[in-house]
Chains A and B, each alone.
Chain A
Amino acid sequence: MKQWKNDIFLLIILFCGVILLCLLNILNGDVAIGLHDVIKLLSGGAVDNPSWSYIIENRLNRSIVAVFAGGALGVSGLILQVFFRNPLAGPGVLGITSGASLGVAIIVLGGASFGSTWGNIGIVIAGLVGALGVLFLLLIIARFIQNSVTLLVAGIMFGYFTSAFINVLILWADKTETRDYNVWSLGSFEGLSSFEVGLFTSIIGFGFILTFLLIKPLNALVAGNNAAASLGINIKQTRNLIILITGVLASIVTVYCGPVGFIGIAVPQFIRVLVKSKNHAIVLPLVFLGGGFLAILADFTVRMSSNALPLNTVTAIIGAPIIIWVIINLNRKNVSI
Chain B
Amino acid sequence: MKNIFFLSICFLLISCVEHQDKTSVEENVFTAEDRVEVKYAKGFEVSYHQGYIKITTQSHSSNSQFKDSLFLITDLNNNLPKDVKRLTAEKTEFACQSSTYLAFFDAFKALDMVKALCGIKFVNQDSLKAELVSNGVVELCLTDQIQDEALLEANPDLFLIYPFGRSQDNNYKEKGINTLLIGEYLEETQIARLEWIKLFGLLLNRAEEANFYFDKIHEEYEALKRQVKPIEKSFIMNLPFQDQWFMPSAQSVGVRMVEDVGISYYFKEAGGTENEVFSKEAIWDVGTKADYWIIIANRKPNFSLNDLLSESPVYKTFKSVKNQQVIFCNTADVDYFAKGIIEPQIILKDLLYATKQIEYHTPVYFKRLK
Query: Could you tell me which A residues sit within 8 Å of B by CB distance?
Result: 29-31, 49-52, 54-55, 58-59, 115, 170-171, 174-176, 183, 186, 188, 190-191, 303, 306-308
Closest B residue by C-beta to A178: B143
Known: A50-B317, A51-B285. A303 touches B121 (CB 8 A): no
B59 to chain A minimum Cβ distance, whole angstroms, is: 26
Interface residues of B in 277-291 (CB under 8 A from A): 277-282, 284-285, 287-288
A228 to chain B minimum Cβ distance, whole angstroms, is: 44
Closest B residue by C-beta to A188: B242
B121 to chain A minimum Cβ distance, whole angstroms, is: 7
Closest B residue by C-beta to A191: B242
State which size class the interface on B falls in: 20 to 34
Taking a contact as CB atoms under 8 Å apart, the answer to whether B242 and A183 are in contact is yes
A24 to chain B minimum Cβ distance, whole angstroms, is: 15
Q: How far is the CA of A307 from the CA of B280 in the complex (A)?
A: 9
Chain A residues within an 8 Å CB radius of B288:
49-51
- CB of B9 within 8 Å of the partner chain: no
Interface residues of B in 237-285 (CB under 8 A from A): 241-244, 277-282, 284-285
- CB of B80 within 8 Å of the partner chain: no
Partner of A31, one of B122, B143, B244, B281: B281
Chain A residues within an 8 Å CB radius of B143:
170-171
Q: How far is the CA of A186 from the CA of B121 in the complex (A)?
A: 26
- CB of B14 within 8 Å of the partner chain: no
- CB of B125 within 8 Å of the partner chain: no
Known: A30-B279, A54-B313, A54-B314. A190 touches B285 (CB 8 A): no
Taking a contact as CB atoms under 8 Å apart, the answer to whether A188 and B243 are in contact is yes
Query: Could you tell me which B residues sit within 8 Å of A by CB distance?
Result: 121-122, 142-143, 241-244, 277-282, 284-285, 287-288, 298, 310-314, 317-318
Residue of A54, A170, A171, A191 ringed by the most chain B CB atoms within 10 A: A54
> How many A-B contacts if CB must be within 8 Å?
65
Chain B residues within an 8 Å CB radius of A30:
278-279, 281-282
Chain A residues within an 8 Å CB radius of B314:
51, 54-55, 58
Partner of B277, one of A52, A58, A306: A306
Q: How far is the CA of A330 from the CA of B199 in the complex (A)?
A: 66
Partner of B242, one of A29, A58, A115, A190: A190
Closest B residue by C-beta to A190: B243
A108 to chain B minimum Cβ distance, whole angstroms, is: 14
Residue of B280, B285, B317 ringed by the most chain A CB atoms within 10 A: B285
Closest B residue by C-beta to A50: B317
Closest B residue by C-beta to A29: B281
Chain A residues within an 8 Å CB radius of B121:
174
Q: How far is the CA of A113 from the CA of B281 in the complex (A)?
A: 23
A198 to chain B minimum Cβ distance, whole angstroms, is: 16
Chain B residues within an 8 Å CB radius of A51:
284-285, 287-288, 314, 317-318
Closest B residue by C-beta to A31: B285
Taking a contact as CB atoms under 8 Å apart, the answer to whether B278 and A183 are in contact is no
